[in-house]
Structure 1
Amino acid sequence: MSVSDARRWWAVGALALSALVVGLDTTVLNVALPTLATDLEASTSELQWFANAYNLVFAAVLLPAGLSGDRYGRKKLLVVALVLFGAASVGCAYSGSTDALIWWRALLGLGAGFIFPLSLSVLPVMFSDEERPKAIGMVVTASALGLPLGPIVGGWLLDNFWWGSVFLINVPMVALAIVAVLLLLPDSRSPEPPGLDLVGVLLSSAGLAGITYGAIKAGEKSWGDGTALTMLIGGVVLMLLFVVWQRHLAARPDGKPLVDLSLFRSPAFTWGAVMATVVSFALFGLLFTVPQYYQAVLGADALGTGLRLLPIIGGIIVGARVGGKVTAKAGPKRLVSVGFLLMAVGLFMGAVTDTDTSYGYAATWIAVVGLGTGLALPLAVDSALGALSTERSGVGSAVIQTVRQVGGTIGVALLGTILTSSYHSHLEVGSIPDRAADAAGESVSAGVLVAQKLHSPALLSSVQESFVHGMNVMLVVCGAIAVVGTVLAALFMPQQAKREQPGTDPVAPADAQPRGAL
């Protein structure tokens, strides 16, 4: 039956809430790591695996998630994924050991890996080409807002409750999302279900997990680390085999590949996915380093650090609203280019920070970066999805999210390496004991702690100045990446996405459920 506009937009609100939960959980754990190290007696390696277990599973299941939604029904699987995410959140909160928390975090990643691509894939079914950019913008913006909101929510919870509360906060949000999805969301699937490509699932999952783990390991150790190189090379080889296998299946009359590589024949899809990844690359770099700057240089606590990220949230919201209002007139090509240009301006502004710079200046430049992000990211994703028929929206949204996730992970590893090497090269530890010097060189947080224990103002000054130098170098790199994004968007993104026609789609859309129907 037909549904009112109000009901459809309430359904988008439910999807945005689902995406917000995933974005929030990506960063909320960061502020709880020191507490977990004490309460669970977790080692540095175990602390890293709390995050890595989530990221590895998340990356590995994205492509199968998109296919499963197209095959079995997007609404049904979204509800299952939300239930799993909520249950895993409870498991994380009440974990009594590091091993238990790692396993529950992996299940959390499994649920998250289904939630976001499925949330995006139903929007082209529900909305016309004119309404779709606004709907996609709401969901993508909610996900982006979750990243800086994580430290704010986590900091407040840790100040008032025990560490498990950073996971339990997911439960009421997930429960609300489940009820809203069940009541408001139309069910949809491809009229001709895609085949279950088990070989493709195994190759892509193993390949993406290998690349993700290799990038994480390289960020922790170095890009010359044997394990990191082995996993990176192995992951790339598996993904090349995956492409060969997909081509083989596509050439067979009865072949049904996991990913139809003809998706990439669309300039709007390809460049929209590339632009979304470049935005994530630069944004993840900022979120990786700025909280450390607030704590180690400005002396903020966990909650204070989160609150100081509010300007980027404001910028993202304003950018998304402006983009949604003017995209019909200006087109995504110009707006994405302008968004990247704003990001570059903000990042280069941040790159002249020193230890005496005021918070007001920091708030200004991160707000400019947020404005550019809010303008570029939703429109880049909409450009990519807008080029697809509704029947391929599931696998298409999964491909976009996969590229973003892997690109963001590699970006954090690369930018982290730049930051660390710059920090080490400028750090002067003087004549302090070797063990203290090694500890100070591990990170800026450790360096500040060592300086405070030794009551050494000279060491503290060196630690802070070295970190700010490394941050500035990293922000210059991020700014350069944003400039490249500006040029690429201006040169290669089409002015308007041209949706696939039924005759060109391998999945016949004749039985497709009309947009705006339940």
Structure 2
Amino acid sequence: MSTPIDRPDPRRWWALGALVACMLVLGFDTTILTVALPTMTEQLGATSGEQEWIADSYLVVLAALMLPAGLLGDRFGRRRMLLTGLGIFLAGSLLGTLATNTGEVIAARTVLGAGAALIMPLALSVLPSLFPGEERTKAVGAVSAASALGLPLGPIIGGWLLDHYWWGSAFLVNVPLVIIGIAACLFLLPETSDPSSPRVDAFSTVLTTTGLGALVFGVVEGPTRGWSAPAVLGAFAAAAVLLTALVLRERRQPRPMLDLTLLAHRGFRWNTAAAALITFTLTGLLFVLPHYLQAVLGHDAFGTGLRMLPMMAGMTVAARTAAPLVTRFGPRTVIAGGLAVMAFAALLGSRTDLHDGYGFTALWLSVTGFGFGFGIIPAMDGALGTLPRERAGSGSGLLMTLRQVSGAVGVAVLGSLIAGAYRGRLGTDGLPPAAAGAARDSVEGAHMIAARLGDTALARSADAAYLHGMSLALLVCGIAALGAALLVAVRLPGGRPAEPAADHAVVGEMTDA
């Protein structure tokens, strides 16, 4: 069973080091992909739809498997399952280095998503068992800072690798980091578990995976096939049926895997909603930005990584200062303020013009980083603080599942929005059909065709078309963040979340929302 919260584990700060190592791996891998996508698009000839699947295959599997992953950790040991996840992540990284086409890259990303599904919720679920209230806030801040630290390291190191080696090196570089994470967990992390947790429901897991997959398929393929195409409409219908069946099935289970009763608690519900919408906004920014920096502004992969540093610097500073602000003003004010800052940054970014230099981009990137850090840390801490200790794994799994679903939908929706706007604005008159098709697939493809034909007008048209799509995507991000800020300000309970003193007391409290 988990260590009682009134007798903190003396190894807890060393254990936090192991968790930080795990989250550093995930943060590193996230932004390596954002920088690698344009390079992979050029070298593998990936279409815009395939780019979205390279990103979303990871996110969909991650979202679908985090619920059973949390339960596996509760029942069989969180350290054991965390080590299993790191091992799967290691295997996915090795598969990625051997991939030779986009299909194999998507398969490798799927394996990486399965490993991350075990790592992410279990790293978080350990925190309530190890740290009391004030210490837990610091621990959440440290874990968040580790993810933030991994974000700038990914583009810089990954960009340098991509400039000097083949794109598969972006996967290979994960290997030493994962090995360090495995060693840290083996020697520093104590085992915690709850053998009475509910069993993993294989049928519910299938419903989750297929339902989310159908939803993302419909959103990604809609702009290409047409929103009224039978395949797209069928995907949306299948997603509605499968996800509804999942909810109905879980509501009938005495110990459900998808524990929706947790959402009955107002603090957990609105902190989780805030975290999900923050993730939606940031994921959208991370998806659109590297293509702008590389294809439109003409920077190489390493230069792109360096130019993303303002966002990461803002995140790191906010991660260090969020806790004192929460103590002084309360989480509701800080979370709503962070979302409002993200909204301002996205709306500012949507005003980007072709003639703007990098200085303007650095400005709104740094503001985005501040807003993200100030919003995500108190939201995550507030949600975790409402969980009974016996449901730490399933509760953190639900929290992270909703965040990753939001991220997957963000990539799909914003990627589709950009693709549709780009194709609608791109001028391909006079081009041979094959060249026009390649140019419409992606802005990188348009630049390759323009360079081959010496067609500067096509390159200018592609830049303007992509920037139009990026502006629309950032506008959507800004509106979503602003709406979330208003919801948090109105709906999130004031004051700091109460420490879960007893499991049954917290469960009973959930009916009072």
Distance 1:219 1:144, change over 3 A: farther
Could you say what secondary structure the match of 1:174 adopts?
A: helix
**1:352 counterpart residue number:** 351
Could you say what secondary structure the match of 1:494 adopts?
A: coil
Where does 1:100-499 land on structure 2 (aligned, <5 Å)?
101-147=105-151, 149-190=153-194, 192-218=196-222, 221-249=225-253, 255-495=254-494, 496-499=496-499
1:276 offset after TM fit, Å? 0.9
How many residues get paired?
Answer: 501
Could you say what secondary structure the match of 2:493 adopts?
A: coil
Distance 1:264 1:320, change over 3 A: same
Percent identity (aligned): 42
CA contact (8 A) 2:60 2:404 kept: no
Could you say what secondary structure the match of 1:187 adopts?
A: coil
CA contact (8 A) 2:64 2:205 kept: no
Comparing 317-326 with 228-237, greater Cα deviation is found at: 228-237
Distance 1:23 1:211, change over 3 A: farther
**1:502 counterpart residue number:** 503
CA contact (8 A) 1:350 1:475 kept: yes
Distance, in Å, in 1 between the alignment partners of 2:333 and 2:243 is 33
1:420 offset after TM fit, Å? 2.5
Could you say what secondary structure the match of 2:93 adopts?
A: helix
Could you say what secondary structure the match of 1:256 adopts?
A: coil
Comparing 320-329 with 215-224, greater Cα deviation is found at: 215-224
1:135 offset after TM fit, Å? 1.0
Distance 1:47 1:456, change over 3 A: closer
1:297 offset after TM fit, Å? 2.1
**2:511 counterpart residue number:** none
Q: Which blocks of at least 5 consecutive residues in structure 2 are unaligned?
A: 509-513
Distance, in Å, in 2 between the alignment partners of 1:217 and 1:104 is 21
Distance 1:222 1:180, change over 3 A: farther
Comparing 50-59 with 157-166, greater Cα deviation is found at: 50-59
One-letter code aligned to 1:498: A
How far does the alpha carbon of each residue in 1:64-104 deviate from its partner, in whole angstroms, 9 at most, with x for none? Answer: 10111111111111011112212332233234676655544
Distance 1:51 1:343, change over 3 A: closer
Distance, in Å, in 1 between the alignment partners of 2:388 and 2:149 is 28
Distance 1:276 1:303, change over 3 A: same
Comparing 181-190 with 356-365, greater Cα deviation is found at: 181-190
Comparing 370-379 with 191-200, greater Cα deviation is found at: 191-200
One-letter code aligned to 1:9: W
CA contact (8 A) 2:49 2:221 kept: no
One-letter code aligned to 2:357: S
Could you say what secondary structure the match of 1:195 adopts?
A: coil
1:427 offset after TM fit, Å? 2.8
CA contact (8 A) 1:66 1:114 kept: yes
1:58 aligns with 2:88: no
1:204 offset after TM fit, Å? 2.6
1:219 offset after TM fit, Å? 6.3
1:76 aligns with 2:75: no
CA contact (8 A) 2:151 2:312 kept: no
One-letter code aligned to 2:66: L
Comparing 173-182 with 198-207, greater Cα deviation is found at: 198-207
Q: CA RMSD in A?
A: 2.7
Comparing 364-373 with 415-424, greater Cα deviation is found at: 415-424
1:459 offset after TM fit, Å? 2.6
